Structure 1
Amino acid sequence: MSTHQFIMKYIRELNDCKPVEVKHNPVTRSSVRKPRWIRPPENFAKIRFDGAVNRANDEGSFNAVCRDGDGNYLGSSVIRCTGLTDPATLEALACREALALAQDLSLSHVIVASDSKGVVQDIKLGIGGMYATIVKEIRETMELFQECTVIFEGRETNQEAHSLAKHAFGLDELYPYEH
C-alpha cells in the first residue's frame, strides 16, 4: 500500500468515526442503531482509549482520543511498543495514557471510556494481576482530577480509538526511522 493510499484509508475511517447526535425517537427495537459516540455529562470531556496487538511483528499499541461534550476534538495520543502483546496490559496502559492526555489538556472533569470490561472492572476494584502496578498508578492519577470516572462502553462506540490503534502499526510506512 502506498503512503497516499494509507493516508486516504485512515482519513476515510476517521470520517466514519465522527460523533453522531443520538436522537430519541420512538422506534421499534429492531430498527435502533447503536450510537458511535455517547455524550458525556455537561462540563465533562470524554477520552476513549484502546489497545491493539500486531502478533506478526510482536508489537502492541495503545492510544487515547479526547473530545469535549459537543464532540469537538481536543487531542489524542498513540504509542507503539515492541514485545508487548498482552491485550489487557495494553488496555491498562491506554487508560494511563488517557489520564496523561487529560492532564496535558488541563482537564478537571473527565470520563475515561474503554471497550474492555475486564480492565475497567480491575481499575474500579484496584486489582489487575500482571498489570496491577499500572492500575495502582491509574487510581492515584484519578485522584488528581476534580471528577474522573472510568467506564465501560461497547466496541460500537469506540471506533475512533480502535482505528487509531490499528493505524499505529502502519506509521513506519509514513515516517521511517533509523534503528
Structure 2
Amino acid sequence: MGGEPSGEFSVRSAYKLLESNVANPRAYTLQNIYKKFYKKLWLLNIPGKIKITIWRLSWNFLPTQVNLMHKKVTNNASYPRYGEKTETTDHVFRECPVTVEMWSELTFQHMLRNQNMDLEQWLTWVIEQLNPWQCSIFCCTIWAIWGARNKRIHENRISTSKEITGFVNKYITEITDDIEKNSVRLTKNIGWRFPPETFVKINFDGAYNGRQNLAASGIVVKDEEGRVLLSHSKIHQEIPSVFAAEVVACWEAVKVGVEKKWRHIIIEGDSLAIIKKCKSNSQDRLLIGAFIHDIKHKIETLKKNEEVYLEMAVPEYAEEQ
C-alpha cells in the first residue's frame, strides 16, 4: 500500500502516503496551489541545496532567531545585521533594507507589493507568477540571502546588497553553463552504440496498459556492425505495474540470449532499477522476485555456458518464490 511501482516502500512512498491523507483537508500541502508550487520547485534546474532551502522556508523551518527562541535554543531574537529588530523570516527576506535593495537590483521589486500575505503564501504566489528562469534566479537569491545571514553570524562577514546580487548573477551563470555542457554531453551520448567485436547486443523495453493489466515486451538484437539479427515483440497478461512490465521485458531478453547461445552478449535496457536488482546479490521478495531470480540464473547460465534441465522440480534458487 502506497509503495513505489517497483514494489518497495521508501521515504518518498511515506511522504506520498501522508500527502494523500484526507483526514485534514485544510492542510495546505493538500491544496492545489501548494501542490503546483512544490511541483514547479522540484522541476527547476538548480542545485538540490537551493530547493531544500526554499522548501524549509515554505514550512518556516529555517532557524531564525525567533524560531530558535521558540525552541528555547536562545533567548535573543534580535536580527544580527542591526540588533534592534526581531529576526523573523519576514524581516530577513522582505523587510530588511539590504534585502529590499537586492530585490530592486534584480528587478523583483514588484514582488514585494503583497506584504499583507504571510511569507508562506507570498512565496507560493511569487513562484506562480514567474517563469522557470525567473524562478531559478528568485530561489538562488533566497538561498544567497540566507547564506549571507549565516556568514554574518558565524564568520562575522558583512555583505552589501551589491555583493550578494553579484554572487547570485555569477552563480546563475555558472550553473547555467554546467547545465548546457551536460546537455551537450548527454546529447552526444544518447543513441545506440555498437557492441565490441564478436559481441551481440540485446536491447529490451516494455510498455504497459494499466487499465487491462497488459504489457508488451520488445527486443532487438544487433551485431557488431549494427545488423539486426533478431527482433521480437510479445504481449503479456496480468502484469501488475509498469515496473513489472520492464522486468518481464528484461527476462525475455535474457531468455533469448540463452536460447540462441551467442557467446558474447551485452543486454541493454533503460530501467536503472531493474539493472541494479539484477546485479544485486540480495534476495528479492517483491511480487516480481521470481522473474528477477530467473534473470540472475539465466545470466549465470550465459556466463558458464551451461544449461539446467529438471523434471518435476525447479532450481533451488526459485523454491521460495
Same fold (TM over 0.5): yes
Secondary structure of residue in 2 paired with 1:88: helix
In 2, are the aligned partners of 1:109 and 1:147 still within 8 Å (CA)?
A: no
**What residue in structure 1 maps to residue 313 of structure 2?**
none
Secondary structure of residue in 1 paired with 2:217: strand
1:117 matched to 2:253: no
Number of aligned positions between the proteins: 121
**What residue in structure 1 maps to residue 293 of structure 2?**
136
1:71 matched to 2:71: no
Mapping of 1:163-178 within 5 angstroms? none
Alignment-mate amino acid for residue 289 of structure 2: A
Deviations 1:33-87 (A, max 9, x none): 3342012222111111111112344311112111011111010221112331411
- Greater Rg by CA: 2
* TM-aligned CA distance change 1:56 to 1:101, over 3 Å: same
Secondary structure of residue in 1 paired with 2:301: coil
Partner Cα separation in structure 1 for residue 191 and residue 271 of structure 2: 16
**What residue in structure 2 maps to residue 42 of structure 1?**
197
Q: Whose strand proportion is higher, 1 or 2? A: 1
Partner Cα separation in structure 1 for residue 208 and residue 296 of structure 2: 25
Partner Cα separation in structure 2 for residue 65 and residue 85 of structure 1: 24
Unpaired runs of 5+ residues, structure 1, are 1-27, 149-179
RMSD: 2.3
Partner Cα separation in structure 1 for residue 276 and residue 237 of structure 2: 27
Q: Whose helix proportion is higher, 1 or 2? A: 2
Deviations 1:114-134 (A, max 9, x none): 100101101110454221111
Alignment-mate amino acid for residue 121 of structure 1: K
Alignment-mate amino acid for residue 136 of structure 1: H
Task: State the identity as a percent.
Answer: 26
In 2, are the aligned partners of 1:59 and 1:83 still within 8 Å (CA)?
A: yes
Deviations 1:115-174 (A, max 9, x none): 0010110111045422111111111111222489xxxxxxxxxxxxxxxxxxxxxxxxxx
**What residue in structure 2 maps to residue 91 of structure 1?**
246
Question: Which structure has more RCO (C-alpha within 8 Å, separation ≥ 6)?
Answer: 1
TM-score normalised to structure 2 length: 0.35
Alignment-mate amino acid for residue 133 of structure 1: A
Partner Cα separation in structure 2 for residue 55 and residue 89 of structure 1: 11
Partner Cα separation in structure 2 for residue 31 and residue 123 of structure 1: 30
Partner Cα separation in structure 2 for residue 147 and residue 41 of structure 1: 20
